[in-house]
Copies of this chain bind each other. A is one copy, B any other.
């Protein structure tokens, strides 16, 4: 599956990387809104249609690692230690994310985002998608239906750390504050399983899906 990619796929990946790099440079230099798609395509020496065959939108050019971010989030839940609860795993994950946000490259990137309404909105819809992914993986882990209100509420609450951690004066403290509010008392009200450790063999939910 992940064998030698072959020349074709290597070239494709190279084109993709070249477009993204060119765009990022231009964005950082002149701002997201001040750079047009046609300009980027010209600068990268590709056709506009080629650009859109690699990226679904202009915003996706700037936010390239979005999928990786989501994968890491899901991984934090599925790949947690056998003795670790879901909230603890997520706290650990977000502490790492916050450290990542502090990197100089990340700082300049997020400044770029803050300067563009289009990018800000794209970011918040990205958190939304992450929320869906987190709900799915937690529900699967606990053997609950994806539509479980508690699962959704929990994921929604947790994903709130993204914007908070970016805007708080002390992001790491904000993360801890958020997770400290998830007391056993809160969670145990409805889903005692949340504080259980990782399952060895998850029992998938087989409830009703549609009428």
Interface of A is mostly: helix
Q: Does A1 contact B (CB under 8 A)?
A: no
Q: Binary interface profile of A, 137-172, with partner B (CB < 8 Å = 1, else 0)?
A: 000000000010110110011001000100111000
Chain B contacts for A177, CB-based, 8 A: 149-150, 153, 190
Q: Binary interface profile of A, 164-203, with partner B (CB < 8 Å = 1, else 0)?
A: 1001110001100110110101100110000000000000
User: Which of A52-60, A66-74, A108-116, A120-128 lies at the interface?
Assistant: A120-128
Whole-angstrom CA separation of A186 from B182 in the bound complex: 7
Q: Which of B147, B160, B185 contacts A183 (CB 8 A)?
A: B185
Q: Is the CB of B156 within 8 A of A160?
A: yes
Q: Is the CB of B180 within 8 A of A189?
A: yes
Of A149, A153, A177, A183, chain B has the most CB atoms within 10 Å of the CB of A149
Shortest CB-to-CB span from A121 to chain B, Å, is: 6
Shortest CB-to-CB span from A95 to chain B, Å, is: 15
Q: Is the CB of B149 within 8 A of A168?
A: yes
The 9 closest A-B pairs by CB, nearest first: A156-B160, A185-B185, A186-B186, A157-B157, A149-B174, A149-B177, A153-B178, A153-B160, A152-B164
Interchain Cβ contacts under 8 Å between A and B, 29 examples? A124-B124, A124-B125, A125-B125, A147-B167, A147-B168, A147-B169, A149-B173, A149-B174, A149-B177, A150-B177, A150-B181, A152-B160, A152-B164, A153-B157, A153-B160, A153-B164, A153-B178, A153-B181, A156-B156, A156-B157, A156-B160, A156-B164, A157-B157, A177-B190, A180-B190, A181-B186, A183-B185, A185-B185, A185-B186
